[in-house]
Homo-oligomer: A and B are copies of this chain.
Amino acid sequence: MIEFCGLKLRHPVINASGCFDVLAAARVFGDELFEQFPFAAYVSKTITLRARAGNPPPRLWESAAGLINSIGLPNGGLRAYLETDLPALAAALPVPLITNVMGSTPEEVGEILDALEAEATVAAIELNVSCPNVATGLDIGADPDGLEALLHHVRPRSSKPLIVKLTPNTADVAACAAGAQAGGADAVSLINTLRALALAPGGSGAWLGGGSGGLSGPAIRTVALAQVSRVAQRVTIPVVGMGGVASGADARDLLDAGATLVAVGTESFRDPAAGSRIARELDDGFTQIAH
């Protein structure tokens, strides 16, 4: 049993937000999905106040040992989440639910937190601060002081554990993590995708319908390890490490670097049951070391 922000988890492997739609997967894999549920907690895709259609396709580009996505956070909006998804998740999920949310203003974030406050199904909240600031074009979480100010504003709106999902597109991710902690975060998670670009073969501009995108997968694994290590050395709150995890050894590295939990994103695309495999490999690793 692992204790994380008051949640009791069976093992340290959870999914990365936006990389596993448990309701779609249940349609595809049926009950077996829940009998062999791969994650110790389930993190939802990012929910926004209003519905978003997401970016026009193409939304994917395969790069060297990685994937660029420009999905654009499609979701039905807060109301649809409360009315449709949450009851379905409450009925189906064998593990705690962490709801990932984003807002383009502190007010928006606050409104979402207020609405989730009454929902017992929501065990914790992950706040995605990789949303671009309209004024600067930078991620709102890229600036330590701005991040701390945002948290001072929204933190009082929720009594649930609050995980801040940091942006990696910053000069000093450890300072951002410290800002999040100072603002009242209960944990931080990282890394989100690295800003990346793919051009269409033949010189006709950006390939992705949304312009640029975010790089994930093994390509970013060692960047993730560096950022997690820096952050874990700086903050005292727990850290959820992610980025390119594909094996128990990769997960072990993040734990060794100071993470409490590890999240699996892109690897689940290659292997839907990757979460269980990685948890098992981690466990085998422990056993091997113990012997």
Contacts from A to B (Cβ < 8 Å): 61, 63-66, 68, 136-139, 142-143, 169-172, 194-199, 201, 203, 212, 215, 217-223, 225-227, 229, 244, 249, 252-253, 256-257, 289
Instruction: Say whether, besides A64-B221, A65-B65, A222-B68, A256 and B171 are in contact (CB < 8 Å).
Output: no
Q: List, in ascending order, chain B residues with CB within 8 A of A212's CB.
A: 226, 229
Docked-complex contact A225 and B252, CB < 8 angstroms: no
Q: List, in ascending order, chain B residues with CB within 8 A of A219's CB.
A: 64-66, 218-220
Q: List 8 A-B contacts (CB under 8 A).
A: A64-B66, A65-B65, A170-B170, A195-B227, A197-B226, A199-B256, A212-B226, A219-B219
Select which of B195, B201, B253 is within 8 A of A226 by beta carbon: B195
Question: Which of A201, A219, A221, A225 has the largest number of chain B CB atoms within 10 A?
Answer: A219
Select which of B64, B195, B203 is within 8 A of A252 by beta carbon: B203
Give, as a whole number of angstroms, the nearest-CB distance from A278 to chain B: 16
Docked-complex contact B198 and A222, CB < 8 angstroms: yes
